[in-house]
């Protein structure tokens, strides 16, 4: 029951995320290129991972015999620092492809 409820909540959140993202792209008239598609996939993947952290923290609180409302509150509070910290590492690694995009910068003359 727990996994079914959390999975349906997670699916609803990801679908809404995708709808909002595509609506914003349509509103601004943006063209979805191959890197853009990769960005949408990474956004969805990142959101799915962070939601998993939330639900696991809530599950830990439920195992500690806390009331459901208290478990949700404490679970989100405990997962908050992890959720804030994770994008910082992702931002660092997102810069790596930009560094190597023009590599090699000069071609040796023949």
C-beta separation of 25 from 32 below 8 A: yes
> Tokens representing 63?
């195992």
Give pLDDT tens digits for 34-66.
877 887 887 777 777 777 777 788 888 888 888
| Distance, CA of 103 to CA of 42 (rounded, Å) | 24
**What DSSP state is assigned to residue 33?**
-
Give pLDDT tens digits for 65-105.
888 888 888 888 887 777 777 667 667 766 666 666 555 55
Show the CA angle centred on residue 97, arms to residues 93 and 43, nearest 5°. 60
Count CB neighbours of 75 within 10 A. 21
Cis peptide before 104 (omega within 30 of 0): yes
Indicate the domain borders of the chain.
2-100
């Amino acid at each position: 029951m727990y996994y079914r409820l959390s999975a349906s909540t997670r699916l609803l959140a990801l679908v809404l995320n995708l709808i909002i993202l595509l609506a914003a792209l349509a509103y601004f008239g943006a063209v979805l290129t191959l890197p853009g598609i990769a960005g949408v996939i990474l956004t969805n993947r990142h959101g799915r991972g962070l939601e998993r952290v939330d639900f696991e923290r809530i599950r830990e609180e439920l195992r500690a015999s806390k009331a459901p409302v208290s478990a949700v509150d404490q679970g989100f509070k405990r997962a908050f620092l992890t959720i804030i910290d994770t994008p910082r590492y992702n931002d660092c690694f997102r810069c790596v492809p930009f560094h190597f995009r023009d590599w090699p910068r000069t071609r040796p003359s023949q």
